[in-house]
Amino acid sequence: MKKTMLKKIFLFLVISLSVCFSQDTVYVASYNLENLFDNIDDPDKKDEEFLAEGKKQWTDARIEQKFANLAKVINYMNNGVGPDILGVVEVEHEHLLLSLIEKHLKSKNYKTAYAEAPDNRGIDCGLIFNADLFGLEKTAAHEVILLDEYPTRSVLEVVLRTKADKNIHVFVNHWPSRRGGAEKSEPNRVAAAKVLKKSIQSINNSETNASIIVLGDFNDEPDNNSIKEILADKEYSKSDAVMFNTSYKAFENGLGSYKYRDDWNMLDQIIISNGLKDRYIKDSFEVIKPEFAVQKEGKYKGTSFPTFGGSKYLGGFSDHYPVSIKLIIN
């Protein structure tokens, strides 16, 4: 009788401790979806080429193929389980993300956060998150005003609430392109970096050890001024003003998420705050290259198989590879 009672007590303690110290490995990813447009004309946006009768002949069938292709990559992530937090860029409207989830991403209870931006082409940033792990607390768009006042993408801020009632601030970015040359266009990305940094500093001023994730397509690399000098370091800095760039080591090793001519560029990055450093699974940053999405031959061998090559429809996935990290959340 005593032995039976002791076993019950021991089992109760084991279960209690496992509940108290339970942890979730949270898989965070970022993916440039390469022009996820609908084929409905927005009169105030330059989306004419993505109409059924437009230059890209963007028919319903091609949109459905795009959904299926993107979903195949997303479902491949996290050993086939799918991401828990996924930042996405180059999306025309939120209803496209909702259709993608409803039709193809049924493995998790996914929800979206989104804000329309003033970009001339109408492409925005969005977030897909696992609603079994997170609640949505806040969505905000921080406008980036360039020197020439040309409309560009906003920085999307999403505040998620964990089951332990802690906030995670996620910033999704798609900074201005390098059109006209990297050096000439650099002030545009510096402007975006300053908008982002101001928001981060505001959070750090109001929260101790704030949990902040910054991700997206920065159109700059980890050693460019917009990131290295303004936003993030390659080391685990002790300064509250400096973030940690999880992609820096892979970048130094010659990896990249996008290939321009013969040069791999680490344009897609994931950057975390000091408050998440101890929860980051070290060296978990990965450029995700599913075999089925890799071009196998020709001039672009090794790159991600895109939807278009110029104006030619190829029926692929995206011209960028996604990137990911793993975090431990109590």
Asked if residue 304 is part of any domain, the answer here is: yes
pLDDT by residue (tens digit) across 62-72?
A: 999 999 999 99
Asked if residue 13 is part of any domain, the answer here is: no
> Which H or E run contains 127?
strand 124-130
Position 231 scores a pLDDT of 86
pLDDT at 37 over 80: yes
Mean pLDDT within 3-23: 47
pLDDT by residue (tens digit) across 69-119?
A: 999 999 999 999 999 999 999 999 999 999 999 999 998 999 999 999 999
pLDDT by residue (tens digit) across 112-158?
A: 999 999 999 999 999 999 999 999 999 999 999 998 899 999 999 99
Q: Which of helix, strand or coil describes residue 80?
A: helix
Is-contact 304 293, C-beta < 8 A? yes
Q: Which of helix, strand or coil describes residue 75?
A: helix
Position 262 scores a pLDDT of 86
Is-contact 156 113, C-beta < 8 A? yes
The chain-wide mean pLDDT, for the chain, equals 91
94-104 and 60-80 helices, crossing angle to 10°:
60
Residues spanned by the domain of 178: 23-329
Is-contact 201 193, C-beta < 8 A? no
Residue with tokens 């028919």: 59
Tell me the β-bridge partners of 300.
none
Position 7 scores a pLDDT of 54
Closest CA to 272 of 257, 287, 284, 256: 284
Give the separation between CA 231 and CA 222, rounded to whole angstroms.
Answer: 10
> Percentage of the chain with pLDDT > 70?
90
Is-contact 30 269, C-beta < 8 A? yes
Confidence of residue 3 (pLDDT cuts 50, 70, 90): low
Higher pLDDT, 230 or 127: 127
Closest CA to 90 of 43, 36, 49: 36
CATH of the domain at 80: 3.60.10.10
Asked if residue 17 is part of any domain, the answer here is: no
Asked if residue 266 is part of any domain, the answer here is: yes
Looking at the structure of the chain, the number of domains it has is 1
Asked if residue 11 is part of any domain, the answer here is: no
pLDDT by residue (tens digit) across 264-314?
A: 999 999 999 988 989 999 999 999 999 999 999 988 999 999 999 988 999
